[in-house]
Structure 1
């Protein structure tokens, strides 16, 4: 199948400058977008073998909270509502009171940022060398996703991806040491 793409001048110039073929770039972007959509659509009834039980519960709660489509605000709500996961336990340590985290009900968002946040959660877990996706990785994914309501809410409270990632690594290292 052939699809014609019209790019803004600044993107076309950047592609010319680095010599990347548009077709390869578009194909990769489309693959990522499809993977995000599949991830989000599969969640309500999916087995999700790589997700921890707390992360699965948080995702279920996010779906139950969503009015039409799942947003990053719903994902954050699911983490907070589950209440016992590492992400929620780290928030006060990072200077964020979980009780103050609510997204504005007048703000709308499509499913794109939520799907991207879950894909980023997977990337964060992989980058940390973890073979599972926990609530802490979902928190990192929410912070890494630049367009989501939840990430904006967390960043407005002073939380950064680097700080949260450092706290996750330290907490898990402490947990591993305590178990050993």
Structure 2
């Protein structure tokens, strides 16, 4: 049977040994799941990039990836799919997707843009002022199936976002991935982002740094929680010893 080396941080390796985790079985199960998930994702990417893919199939792909979307991305897509009066749009363009991201000033995509010195107000103004045409579906099958309503630049952006998820090794789809997809894609949203100084390599590095920061903070939070539990246990033990010693002690 072929052998694959798995490298772990020192603390995790020690914990795995202490817990006597069956590493081979766990890794095989995890890798099997990853192969299946990535395989489905790559098929979805190919379908999004194929102009001949039927809207019904795009709708099913959308249902499949919806469970992996963050709440903020779901909210951004909801905004992108509706016009100023709250009505469902027909074709949804790459500009609509970018507008949906910028509408929420707190998602990670916007925070990353701000960290790179991008003027969000100027960027949003350029999006609103743009009247660029994008080729869209000839017929919209359902107002609920967003992928089936996307223009080709919008579909290419979503395909690039999914590709970024695979390449970065993430198990979720967030606003930052869609932003990266818009920058790496093609169309008016790509042009506006590049004109305002947004570059895919720098954005990818920022996403990696943000992800590493989240992992570090979770690790520190866990350490603080362990220390708190240990302190509580120490105090309870001291109280029990005093009670057991009786009133004369």
Q: TM > 0.5 between the two?
A: yes
Partners of 1:86 and 1:38 lie apart in 2 by 31
TM-superposition CA deviations, 1:79-116 (whole Å, max 9, x none): 11122210011111112121111323321112001011
Partners of 2:62 and 2:78 lie apart in 1 by 7
The 1:149/1:31 distance shift into structure 2, 3 A limit, reads closer
Q: Could you state the TM-score of these two structures normalised by the residue count of structure 1?
A: 0.74
Partners of 1:39 and 1:143 lie apart in 2 by 25
| Residue ranges of structure 2 left out of the alignment (5+ in a row) | 1-45, 136-150, 220-249
Is the Cα–Cα contact under 8 Å of residues 144 and 161 in structure 1 kept in the other structure?
Answer: yes
Count of residue correspondences: 152
SS at match of 2:82: helix
Q: Could you state the TM-score of these two structures normalised by the residue count of structure 2?
A: 0.55
TM-superposition CA deviations, 1:45-71 (whole Å, max 9, x none): 888101111111111110013753111
Cα RMSD (Å): 2.8
Is the Cα–Cα contact under 8 Å of residues 117 and 138 in structure 1 kept in the other structure?
Answer: yes
Q: What is the CA distance between 1:42 and its match in structure 2?
A: 5.9
Q: Which residue of 2 aligns with 1:62?
A: 80
Aligned partner (choices 155, 163, 175) of residue 123 of structure 1: 163
Q: Which residue of 1 aligns with 2:107?
A: 85
Is the Cα–Cα contact under 8 Å of residues 91 and 98 in structure 1 kept in the other structure?
Answer: yes
Partners of 1:116 and 1:39 lie apart in 2 by 16
| Residue ranges of structure 1 left out of the alignment (5+ in a row) | 1-28
Aligned partner (choices 193, 201, 222) of residue 162 of structure 1: 201
Aligned partner (choices 43, 50, 59) of residue 68 of structure 2: 50
SS at match of 1:114: helix
Q: Which has the larger radius of gyration?
A: 2
Partners of 1:30 and 1:172 lie apart in 2 by 28
The 1:36/1:71 distance shift into structure 2, 3 A limit, reads farther
